[in-house]
Structure 1
Amino acid sequence: MDKIKKEKFTIKQFNEKYIDDNACLHQIFLNRYSYLENCPKCNDKFSYHKVTDRKCYACAYCGNQLHPLADTIFHKSSTSLKNWFYAIFLFSTSKNGVSAKELERQLGVTYKCAYRIAKQIRKLFDENVSMLTNIVEIDETYVGGKEINKHKHKKTPSNQGRSLKTKSAVLGAVERQGNIIAKVVNHTQSSIVKPFVRDNICITAEVKTDEYKVYNSLKFMGYSHDTVDHGKKEYVNGDTHTNNLEGFWSQLKRSINGTYHSVSPKYLQTYVNEFAYRYNRRNDITPLFKSMIKKVLMLV
């Protein structure tokens, strides 16, 4: 079977389609109201035109106004809509994320404005993923802290180096050839791991983990469970491994270290969501930019 080709959306196509703020506003208007056949106020045929010098559209018959930007991430923003769209384009085409400093340089805005734009755009990456099935890998990682601090945390059989003194814990599960779910958690003990597994992984799934003792309870929960012992340099045993999740963690950490340098634990989940969102759409035919523009209508 021939591989389906992904649709491309380049910077040239972006500039041709979104030539100014009005073109961007019209796209949001279409996304939000194109399903309407009649005016919601006068019930006449839907016929709205752009109001001059305002970010709204008015009915040709009764004058009722619709405001496409209301309750979106653009609401009450004085920043150019094209700048907003271009920032979203940068996020959609970057594998390693976009820092506020980079937005400041690209858009020619203040750092405060660029930081707010980046923060608002990351709201688009929050999503609810269906329960994972088939073969599912579970693993945890730790983000933050300095490398030198690793030598200060004595490894014991109980923690095996899983210290949270300088780091934030992220618990993840990925379905092979499917989606990933990753959550920032307070710790990685049973009281957190068990509810995470029950809420996100179907009971019929085959679960693969490393030797971390907390995962031993999965069989008692009714899951089919196999492990590899990383402590003994065992990384693959038949189809048992956590390589897909390890690859995701590696990409996440490289991007945070290289692009953002450091991330506040308070906002770490938004960055994790960003990379999980990209991962879950790695095989989509539709360009990520178009998917994000459609999601702009989420309420703030």
Structure 2
Amino acid sequence: MNKTNCIPAERRFTIMQFNERFPDDDACLDWLMEKRYPGGIATCSYCRVERKHHRIASKKAYACDYCGTYISPMAGTIFEKSSTSLRLWFYAMYLMASTRCGVSAKQVQRETGVTYKTAWRMFKQIRSMLKDDETGLGGPDSHGVEMDETYFGGVRRGVKGKPGAGDKKKTAIVGIVERQGRIRAMTAHDTKSATLLGMVKTHILPDTTVFTDEYQPYDGISHMKNGYTHKRIKHSEKIYVIGDIHTNSIEGFWSLLKGGIRGVYHSVGKSYLQSYLDEYTFRYNRRNVNKPMFTCFLEQVIEKAE
């Protein structure tokens, strides 16, 4: 089955809709202006008061209707100072948002005619704005959070019973997911106790039930001062679910992440891995939002504008 067909109708944004809504650079610029400055009302940098601004046909800017001072809706966004067509930026975001696992820069190169270097740079900039806020996960009224670690890169198995552990060719990734809620995934230098417990304290709210496997560095969770309840499942004994004790949610995310990256991007360097994690967690955290993912991407442009 085509994965696109699994997307509810209210979350689809077809290519016909895209072409109708954003036929050219002017349409994209007008959308950006309206979202940042509704009705064209913005504070004029010269008048120091809110004024109506009108489009300047020969420029990617709008002028104060009193003094003529320019304002650009692209200022402070990922589009600022870019020589690439604004519509191509929008189309690149559309392509990224139209599948569960994203698309490669090579595909954008083929579909738009830009160089691979330009396509890769655009994707890097788009991913830079997909990082979610870092408010605490869980809490006493939540269904609890699951925490787990995995490793990415290379093929050699690790040591001490954890595939990848101790392998310098692999990058450690730590994930924390609210059951029926949000997720956070982060690269880590290691998965030692100090590192993992530090992440618990930083990212998990007090009085939360934390579900993990039997990995020894998690031992200290129940002794922390934030009132955590720690429940564990023994994967080493081939036990994966006991009542509500499991880590199936985070394991499912790992499967989606690794399958997507290997299937679409094939490999990712350590220095860029976090930006790919941000893209996948951004999608995951909006899996139940009843609007197109492309709309979520566009809204993030406004959210992250300086």
TM superposition score normalised by structure 2: 0.90
Task: Check the 8 A contact 1:104/1:110 in 2, yes or no.
Answer: yes
CA distance in 1, matches of 2:164, 2:51: 63
Task: Check the 8 A contact 2:151/2:164 in 1, yes or no.
Answer: no
What count of residue pairs does the alignment treat as equivalent?
291
1:267 pairs with 272, 280, 285, which one?
A: 272
CA distance in 2, matches of 1:66, 1:38: 8
1:106 Cα deviation from its structure 2 partner: 1.4
Task: Check the 8 A contact 1:44/1:61 in 2, yes or no.
Answer: no
CA distance in 1, matches of 2:254, 2:129: 21
Would you say 1:136 and 2:141 are equivalent positions?
no
Q: CA RMSD in A?
A: 2.0
Would you say 1:102 and 2:107 are equivalent positions?
yes
1:32 pairs with 29, 36, 41, which one?
A: 36
SS of the residue 1:78 aligns to:
coil
Q: 1:257 is matched with which residue? A: 262
Residues 1:260 and 1:37: Cα distance change in structure 2 (over 3 Å): closer
Would you say 1:167 and 2:180 are equivalent positions?
no
Q: Which amino acid aligns with 1:237?
A: I
Q: 2:201 is matched with which residue? A: 198
- Percent identical: 44
CA distance in 1, matches of 2:103, 2:16: 20
Residues 1:26 and 1:235: Cα distance change in structure 2 (over 3 Å): same
Q: Which amino acid aligns with 1:169?
A: A
Task: Check the 8 A contact 2:33/2:40 in 1, yes or no.
Answer: no
CA distance in 2, matches of 1:268, 1:131: 22
1:292 Cα deviation from its structure 2 partner: 1.6
1:9 Cα deviation from its structure 2 partner: 2.1
Q: Mean alpha-carbon deviation: is it higher for 60-69 or for 226-235?
A: 60-69
Task: Check the 8 A contact 2:154/2:170 in 1, yes or no.
Answer: yes
Q: 2:293 is matched with which residue? A: 288
Task: Check the 8 A contact 1:183/1:272 in 2, yes or no.
Answer: yes
Q: Mean alpha-carbon deviation: is it higher for 4-13 or for 229-238?
A: 4-13
CA distance in 2, matches of 1:36, 1:83: 24
CA distance in 2, matches of 1:160, 1:50: 58
1:53 Cα deviation from its structure 2 partner: 2.1
Residues 1:37 and 1:66: Cα distance change in structure 2 (over 3 Å): closer
2:54 pairs with 49, 55, 73, which one?
A: 49
CA distance in 1, matches of 2:287, 2:24: 30
TM superposition score normalised by structure 1: 0.91
Q: Identify unmatched segments of 5+ residues in structure 2.
A: 1-7
1:115 pairs with 116, 120, 128, which one?
A: 120
CA distance in 1, matches of 2:52, 2:131: 34
Q: Which amino acid aligns with 1:171?
A: V
SS of the residue 1:125 aligns to:
coil
Q: Mean alpha-carbon deviation: is it higher for 13-22 or for 120-129?
A: 120-129
Task: Check the 8 A contact 2:40/2:54 in 1, yes or no.
Answer: no
CA distance in 1, matches of 2:217, 2:118: 44
Q: 1:217 is matched with which residue? A: 220
CA distance in 2, matches of 1:271, 1:161: 19
Task: Check the 8 A contact 2:64/2:70 in 1, yes or no.
Answer: yes
Q: Mean alpha-carbon deviation: is it higher for 267-276 or for 219-228?
A: 219-228
CA distance in 2, matches of 1:275, 1:106: 23
1:7 Cα deviation from its structure 2 partner: 4.3
CA distance in 2, matches of 1:190, 1:45: 54
CA distance in 2, matches of 1:106, 1:167: 33
1:139 Cα deviation from its structure 2 partner: 0.3
Task: Check the 8 A contact 1:125/1:274 in 2, yes or no.
Answer: yes
CA distance in 2, matches of 1:169, 1:43: 50
Residues 1:20 and 1:251: Cα distance change in structure 2 (over 3 Å): same
CA distance in 1, matches of 2:250, 2:70: 49
Residues 1:219 and 1:45: Cα distance change in structure 2 (over 3 Å): closer
